Amino acid sequence: MYVATDYPSYRLARRSQLLKRSALQEMLVAASRPEILSFALGLPAADLFPVDAYREAVATVLGDPRALQYGPPSEPLKRHIVQLMARRGVHCRAEQILLINGAQQGLALLAQLLLDDGGQVMLEELSYPGFQQVINLFRPAVVTVPTDPASGIDVEGVAACLARSRPAFLYAISSGHNPLGVSLTAEQQCELVALARHYRTPIVEDDAYGFIYYQDRPVPALRALDEEMVFYIGSFSKILAPALRTGWIIAPERFIPKLEIIKEASDIGTASLAQRTIAAVLDTGILPDHIAHLRRQYQARRDAMIQALEECFPLEAEWHTPDSGFFIWITLPEWVHSGELLARAIHEEQVAFVPGHAFCSQGGIHGTNCLRLNFSHCSIAQIEEGIARLGRLLKQQLVPTQMATVR
Amino acid sequence: MYVATDYPSYRLARRSQLLKRSALQEMLVAASRPEILSFALGLPAADLFPVDAYREAVATVLGDPRALQYGPPSEPLKRHIVQLMARRGVHCRAEQILLINGAQQGLALLAQLLLDDGGQVMLEELSYPGFQQVINLFRPAVVTVPTDPASGIDVEGVAACLARSRPAFLYAISSGHNPLGVSLTAEQQCELVALARHYRTPIVEDDAYGFIYYQDRPVPALRALDEEMVFYIGSFSKILAPALRTGWIIAPERFIPKLEIIKEASDIGTASLAQRTIAAVLDTGILPDHIAHLRRQYQARRDAMIQALEECFPLEAEWHTPDSGFFIWITLPEWVHSGELLARAIHEEQVAFVPGHAFCSQGGIHGTNCLRLNFSHCSIAQIEEGIARLGRLLKQQLVPTQMATVR
């Protein structure tokens, strides 16, 4: 048996040569220790999973051993998704749906469909890092558009960028923005879709959090406005449970065969068992009530975090109450470095969050004085405790230059 | 709501523009109708799935709702895989293992690690089409080496090709070859690994069928010979059930962090539920006996198919008894076109197989007079019936030019 050191190494593909876990990712691994109160990851609450419904569904489905076999995409599940999409204002057909392993795979497959190696992609200056992981493998030219913590993507900025570039697509989170927690208005959505049409630039709409909104009348998904220019990605991870690893793409029907080939090359297909189990859960009709329950529970956690922030954070910290999704975005004075703050938070207070620069699409400076807090995963008691600890640390941090004022 | 026809289309990535289901793939969809006796796909037998073990394991695992949460790769499952690999003669450590969604995903991830867009790949002239699907997305320069239905990859051919090319890697199936059903000898394996070392060309070893062998003393996997030059891919799809969508890569440890990033970009992670359930099944210790049972059962089906072939196929047909895997490769006289034969087989005899040219790595002529028969999926009675029908058709086919002789 020869071992690694006997040889000089062979060459990896160019896209892999620079791949490396960042210092931040290493720190977040440290933050996953059980003694840490973590507001870092976008995890749903495990205590809200419909475990009984899942247990019954899986028992039913295992009555037929074909549930454990390779199998074609589940038509009953596609029909359920067609119905479900009406709740996001979207009319679609089963023929436009591709079943996938969660929203992340949707991003990876659509990037393969649309993006050339070295091609252009347009995204917000603050955006989901998992999307950036996907496109980094294509070593793309990233076109960044401004985004506002209060109102989301700057549509005028998009117009200005599209006038001078021709990206393969625009990546957008129209509802439950990650990390900002904002939803676009109907007006912003109309303008965005009009720009997509005018410049023939498709939009990849990541709606992983789209069903978790706290308004009474949510704005429909972008896909409701245009079935040709918008590729939609949905997921059961936040409305049922992540371990089902099942989501869907809605695409123009003529691209579905191409996407099926790309999907097949990626992993043959989404597990029959997961597909059949979700279809069986949806057959029971519990999903609308379950989503309503989740929205109430997550809204209560959001409200508890906002209240704790108001009580414990220094006046210099700013935020907006999110109208959807799982996150609150905090802006601190310019001179605070949230990466250094995280190191202290973990070691001194056993609390974790994600520093803002992790979301910066240029890997750069933007967001270094910001942090993203997740409110869906911890209980209300943990939220109150964790925000109190973080507030204490922040006030210490702010004292050296100015007296922190209690809000 | 605008619809597709209102717009001229936008451009897809170059890799996607030519993606199209082949006529053969369409035909195989037709062959999946329930009235068709199919020897086409590489499906394991659903009646051999350990459904009860799975049902118990999933019930146990669902006792903890974290089984439905996002989660890190399962360390207990990795430890089970380390033990399991000893059965393939491989000594490895948990730190060298990446958990994935079945062997196909292993191919996709390793191609991303190793293969540049437009880069060179070396594979046998007859090889697994799913691998070809993966690399086609990279629009590679394919370097084809000869392969022999009786003995597998031509090692001298590999030497000759490596002397004049520098592929990113060689794709090899050392045991349970798909489509040929052969396993390499220890001598071939040693020569192959020596070439990989000499030319610093890693080997991607696809061992999806490696645990299903019919010899008493199987040759170990290539990975047993070299932990630096061989990337190994294994899967639970054939030894437990495909719907778990769980497999593993064994790679040099220093590449695991890069592979983890590529995996995370692809789909965040393999379902916690699948990982925990498989670990729970393996905890019971049933796997060694289960694999032994599968090997006996599949050997009986193989033997039944060989006997039926001897009884029903014309003398002009040639084959070797496979020593591993799920397939028998049949060579017919040069002038028989197995694609046309399939169309007749489906329509006239309700039997399906895969025509040989589907495995031809140059998409070309080689294998047009061959066919791949799967013997793992059908019952022995179905095998006897289906081979009798196919033999009848073949004899009709052969009559026009020469009198078919009954073997």
Q: Which residues of B touch A66 (CB under 8 A)?
A: 46
Nearest-CA distance B122 → chain A (Å)? 15
Task: Single out the residue of A247, A224, A237, A227 nearest to residue A77, CA to CA.
Answer: A247
Residues A86-117: tens digit of each pLDDT? 999 999 999 999 999 999 999 999 999 999 99
CA distance B8 to B31: 36
Determine the pLDDT at residue A400: 55
- Which residue matches tokens 């495909």? B242
Determine the pLDDT at residue A4: 46
Query: What is each CA distance from A314 to A389, A400, B360, in whole angstroms?
Result: 12, 13, 68
Determine the pLDDT at residue A22: 76
CA distance A94 to B44: 29
Q: Which residues of A touch B113 (CB under 8 A)?
A: 12-13, 16
Q: Which residues of A touch B108 (CB under 8 A)?
A: 265-267
Residues A306-359: tens digit of each pLDDT? 999 999 999 999 999 999 999 999 999 998 999 999 999 999 999 999 999 999
Model confidence at A32: pLDDT above 90:
no
Determine the pLDDT at residue A363: 53
Q: B270 near A242, Cβ under 8 Å? A: no
User: To the nearest whole percent, how much of chain A has pLDDT over 90?
Assistant: 84
Could you tell me how far CA A161 lies from the centroid of its own chain?
24
Determine the pLDDT at residue B14: 94
Q: B346 near B386, Cβ under 8 Å? A: no
Residues B225-247: tens digit of each pLDDT? 999 999 999 999 999 999 889 99
What is the DSSP code string of B104-129? HHHHHHHHHHH--TT-EEEEESB--H
Residues A180-194: tens digit of each pLDDT? 999 999 999 999 999
What is the DSSP code string of A102-122? HHHHHHHHHHHHH--TT-EEE
Peptide bond preceding B179 in cis form (omega within 30 of 0): yes
Query: What is each CA distance from A256 to A197, A248, A253, B213, B387, in whole angstroms?
Result: 21, 12, 5, 38, 36
Residues A1-10: tens digit of each pLDDT? 444 455 557 9
Q: Do A69 and B4 touch (CB under 8 A)?
A: no
Residues B361-388: tens digit of each pLDDT? 875 557 899 999 999 999 999 999 999 9
Determine the pLDDT at residue B135: 95
**Chain B 232-291, residues with CB within 8 Å of chain A CB atoms:** 237, 241-245, 252-255, 257-258, 260-262, 264-268, 270-274
Model confidence at A407: pLDDT above 60:
no
**Mean model confidence pLDDT for chain A:** 92
Nearest-CA distance A133 → chain B (Å)? 5
Nearest-CA distance B259 → chain A (Å)? 9
**Chain B 309-368, residues with CB within 8 Å of chain A CB atoms:** none
Determine the pLDDT at residue A3: 47
DSSP reduced 3-state for A137: coil
| B110 φ, ψ (degrees, to nearest 5) | -70, -35
CA distance B227 to B59: 37
Given a cut of 70, the residues of chain B with pLDDT beneath it are 1-8, 363-365, 399-407
